[in-house]
A and B are shown apart, each in its own frame.
Chain A
Amino acid sequence: MNEFYLVAIVAMIFIVIFQIAKASEYVSILKGEEKSRKQNNRINAFLMIAFLVLGLYGAWYCNELYFGKTLFPQGSASVQGENIDLMLYITIAVTGVVFVITQILLFWFAYKYQESDTRKAFYFPHNNKLELLWTTVPAIVLTILVAVGIKFWFGFTSEAPQDAVVVEITGHQFAWDFRYPGADNKLGKKNYKLYNQPAGNTLAVDFDDPDSHDDIHVTEMHIPVNRPVKLVINAQDVIHDVGLSHFRMKMDAVPGIPTTMWFTPKYTTEEMRKRTGNPNFLYEISCDQICGKGHFSMRGIIVVETEADYKKWLESQKSEYFTLFPDKAPAKPAAPLAVDTTAKPMASNIH
């Protein structure tokens, strides 16, 4: 019943507005169309300047309300992201100046040059000097933005340092799985045809490859602070995207085509909780590429911790191979795992 009243009220408002509009048309005919047209012109010219002033105030007010919530004031949580923040501020400065100047000119001209009987419009079809000016100035400014941007871009997309912690991340509808290479620092081969859910091989690892035997399979990602992390990104079913807003990083997960991305976290989760003043703060992985009905719930967690905590966590994990094939496990508990920081990069085993 409430809905019915709501619809009735809305309909009433429509009818009232419509009748007023109709009446104003008759009034304008009575008053003289030219006269009422000129009155409308003055009103709208005034509204143009009012819109400009209130609009610019609104933009400032919006910034006051929401810039803090973006967590940009806290800065990027990764070393690489600092350049993204810098690029953002440079771009905001450049476009902000252009935005304010052009919007002011637009609405101010509209107000100032409203129709007047005492003035004639100025016949001004072109001026080569002016046009050359506003072709070259934007071109130069954009060249600078492109140059800085590309320099940073090549930095982000460069090869990860050799001592990077390697984590393989696999997206599937609608969760993330992580694999660590274990003591040999080599991820075992995978073959999607070996996928076998009943047997527990949900990542389709080829367990005939001995490199896979010490690999760890977890559903929450742990990484040490202040050390480069290289993500090897896979997807099983549809395209997903590893979105790490706090680290300012993002990369698609494409079935059949592994991608990579690397960054160096600056703050542990605990430190971030203090910096943001939010005791519940978490580094979340958001899926940023629509992947089906559960897209919005495809959430992953990254725990950034100190090197010592990370080592402790890593040692407490059991390899997937021995979990799935307990009979093959050595009698004693698995040897402590450690990441060899001097090992060769393992780009060769990313297939």
Chain B
Amino acid sequence: MSTATLHETTHHESHGDAHHEHHHQETFITKYVFSQDHKTIAKQFLVTGIIWAFIGGLFSVIFRLQLADPNAVYPWLEDLLGHWAKGGKLQPEFYYALVTMHGTILVFFVLTAGLSGTFANFLIPLQIGARDMASPMLNMLSYWFFFLASIIMLSSLFVQTGPASGGWTIYPPLSAIGDASSGSKIGMDLWLVGMAMFIVSSLLGGLNYITTILNMRTKGMSMTRMPLTIWALFFTAVLGVLSFPVLLSGAILLLFDRNLGTSFYLSDLIVAGKVLPNEGGSAILFQHLFWFLGHPEVYIILLPAMGMASEILSVNSRKPIFGYMAMVGSLFAITILAFLVWAHHMFVTGLNPFLGSIFVLLTLLIAVPSAIKVFNWLTTLWKGNIRFTPAMMFAIGFVSLFISGGLTGIFLGNSALDIHLHDTYFVIAHFHIVMGVASFFGMFAGVYHWYPKMFGRYLNNTLAYIHFWVTIIGAYMIFWPMHYEGLAGMPRRYYDFSSWESFKMFAGLNQFISFVALIVFATQILFIINFFYSIWKGRKVTQQNPWGANTLEWTTPIRPGHGNWPGELPEVHRWPYDYSKDGHDHIAQTEPIGADESKH
């Protein structure tokens, strides 16, 4: 199927038609809706991701409202949410539903599908010199399964008993028994079915990315000449393909426990005054299955951001990325280790202490490749000639956040400290900085950098700079003080702290954090406006290679059609990081090696 498509495309190209898409009788439906063009699919993922990010972000603003002042009454909230905000006060069930959906949406629908889905689709064929994915058909299905998952997940917001409310980690028995929580009724089934569809989407996409990268590189594009974005997206796909099926099986067993009376995760239960018949299951089993995906998942989110930051830092420093092979090697090391650390989420579940110590060792090992990456990024900046494009700003912000959030991982990965810090605000601060905000910064960097290639127009720079500065300052102001709340032992997922002698001294701080969160959220709306406005009204791109980059996507026409290159596929002669070499500002990958050129 894939080779047939490829031959067909090549055949069209051989006629030298610059706009081969005109050969197909393309309708609006085939061009924008059921498109098989990887670039269109990428944009579909991006726009869907932005919509999800808005919804997920809005949820966090609503529950921050509750944390700001647990006693406040907002009559308009009742107008908006009905019985979920009875008397203008957010109900605890709905608070937990918002927290759960915020996590689910941001982790899976935005930072997995929205990030990988967008940039893997967009960049892989363009940067390796392919006309499309190995299977454009499966690629299209990948988006539409994601769309289906989105619809199912969204519909759970509208059921009478509310969406899932047991946290995005959906630990049974809470998530398994409807009597334990109203969110564990039909909302939980929708969550599980939605996630199953999501996993199908992710697997279809991942298999395609791996196949395309391994088989469809253009002439001369050896693996070691691939941009680091492609390496990162490759390892991301490998992580996803190997770990998502485990979550799928975990979710299906949970569906069985919920609906078919099995006891995979259930035993010895007395819920709502009734003794349940389930016997012999283990609630901890689910956590092993969940975190076997759940931990690689954080790298599924982080690696694409790392790859894009590497590329953007290099282009805008006008310097090669420092230590290319070490960067690839550290991505590889992180990929392997990502599978071997899941139980560090379970240090306080009664885990065998010896097993726990092994997971401490393996977890802290990840700090070594991470340190290599940070120092290599810093050295890439050193003696550069830095252009602060909005993309570059976000890439630098990414490095800053990755350092800040990564270092607190050394606290939590050490079981001796995790005993105190587990499930406190310290954890919230850690993972929001390192995989939430940092990955968002990688994603923003990618959007600002490749927007001209996606839409043939630029985003407004002034809005971009406002977006960057407010977001980075705001993100630090929100999450930095949370470390202190965590040190005091303040638990996550609390609706109200005012009756706790141990935690109520942070009421003022909670108010401050909510206030900043509101401003940061408003700034993201500014970005969304900029994004959609510029698609039609942005400044037009007039140069084929506006950033002076070496990679292949900038050798395509300003608005490439389906098939990407109008003529022959480009041939690659060198790695993508020859910036400021031998007196040249940049040397594109398609330039043959000169006879007198120095070796790198």
A-to-B contact residues, CB < 8 Å? 3, 10, 14, 17-18, 20-22, 24-25, 28, 37, 40-41, 44-45, 47-48, 51, 55, 58-59, 62-63, 65-67, 69-72, 81, 83-84, 87-88, 91, 94-95, 98-99, 102-103, 105-107, 109-110, 113-116, 119-127, 130-131, 134-135, 138-139, 142, 145-146, 148-150, 152-154, 156-158, 172-173, 192-193, 195, 197, 204, 236-239, 241, 243, 245-246, 248-252, 254-257, 259-260, 278, 280-282, 284, 286-297, 299
Contacts and interface: CB of A to CB of B under 8 A. Distances in A.
25 contacts: A20-B462, A48-B396, A65-B481, A66-B481, A88-B417, A102-B375, A106-B403, A120-B580, A120-B583, A121-B579, A123-B581, A124-B322, A126-B326, A134-B375, A145-B410, A152-B416, A172-B270, A245-B488, A248-B420, A250-B422, A256-B283, A259-B350, A286-B502, A290-B493, A292-B181
Contacts of B577: 125
Given A124-B322, A145-B414, A237-B173, A256 B282 contact: yes
A273 to B, nearest CB: 11
Contacts of B526: 14, 17-18
Given A70-B487, A91-B410, A257-B283, 5 more contacts: A22-B460, A84-B420, A115-B386, A124-B379, A145-B410
Contact of B501 (A67, A99, A282): A282
Interface in B374-422: 374-379, 381-388, 393, 396, 399-400, 403-404, 407-408, 410-411, 414-417, 419-420, 422
B499 A251 contact: no
Contacts of B496: 296-297
Contacts of B241: none
B424 A288 contact: yes
A197 B391 CA distance: 62
B488 A69 contact: yes
A149 B415 contact: yes
A278 to B, nearest CB: 8
Contact of A192 (B268, B495, B500): B268
A278 B487 CA distance: 18
Contacts of B367: 138, 142
Given A25-B460, A44-B388, A239-B283, A299 B500 contact: yes
A15 to B, nearest CB: 10
B505 interface: yes
A257 B350 CA distance: 9
Q: Sorted from nearest, which 8 A-B pairs have the closest CB atoms?
A: A245-B489, A256-B268, A259-B350, A157-B353, A122-B383, A66-B484, A256-B267, A21-B462
A240 B411 CA distance: 23
Interface string B570-597: 0000000101111100000000000000
B465 interface: yes
A44 B529 contact: no
Interface string B57-79: 00000000000000000001000
B349 interface: yes
Interface in B75-94: 76, 91-93
A158 B354 CA distance: 11
Nearest to B503: A286
Given A51-B473, A193-B275, A257-B283, A153 B353 contact: yes
Contact of B174 (A109, A123, A149, A290): A290
A76 to B, nearest CB: 9
Contacts of A138: 367-368, 371-372
A264 to B, nearest CB: 15
A58 B483 CA distance: 14
A59 B480 contact: yes
A239 B502 contact: no
Contacts of A139: 368
Contacts of B469: 47, 51
B356 interface: yes
Contacts of B282: 256-257
B325 interface: yes
Contact of B502 (A66, A87, A197, A246): A246
B389 to A, nearest CB: 9
A99 to B, nearest CB: 5
Nearest to A84: B420
Interface in B473-490: 473, 476-477, 480-481, 484-485, 487-490
Contacts of B500: 284, 286, 299
B419 A115 contact: no
Interface of B: 76, 91-93, 96, 165-167, 171, 173-174, 177, 180-182, 266-273, 275, 281-284, 317-326, 348-350, 353, 356-357, 360-361, 364-365, 367-368, 371-372, 374-379, 381-388, 393, 396, 399-400, 403-404, 407-408, 410-411, 414-417, 419-420, 422-424, 460-463, 465-466, 469, 472-473, 476-477, 480-481, 484-485, 487-497, 499-503, 505-506, 509, 522, 525-526, 529-530, 539, 577, 579-583, 600
A237 B399 CA distance: 43
Given A115-B385, A154-B353, A122 B580 contact: yes
Given A55-B476, A126-B326, A103 B400 contact: yes
B317 A121 contact: yes
A296 to B, nearest CB: 4
A83 B349 contact: no
Contact of A255 (B92, B173, B348, B411): B173
A116 B580 CA distance: 14
B416 A239 contact: no
B364 A142 contact: yes
A51 B472 CA distance: 10
A125 B321 CA distance: 6
Given A145-B410, A173-B180, A259-B350, A45 B96 contact: no
A146 B177 CA distance: 39
Nearest to B169: A290
B317 A113 contact: yes
Given A62-B481, A113-B383, A237-B180, A123 B417 contact: no
A146 B360 contact: yes
B381 A110 contact: yes
B495 A254 contact: no
| Centre residue among A28, A135, A156 by max chain B CB count within 10 A | A135
B444 to A, nearest CB: 15
A236 B473 CA distance: 45
Contacts of A297: 496, 499
Contacts of B393: 44
A195 to B, nearest CB: 5
A236 B275 CA distance: 10
A275 to B, nearest CB: 14
Contact of B423 (A110, A125, A134, A288): A288
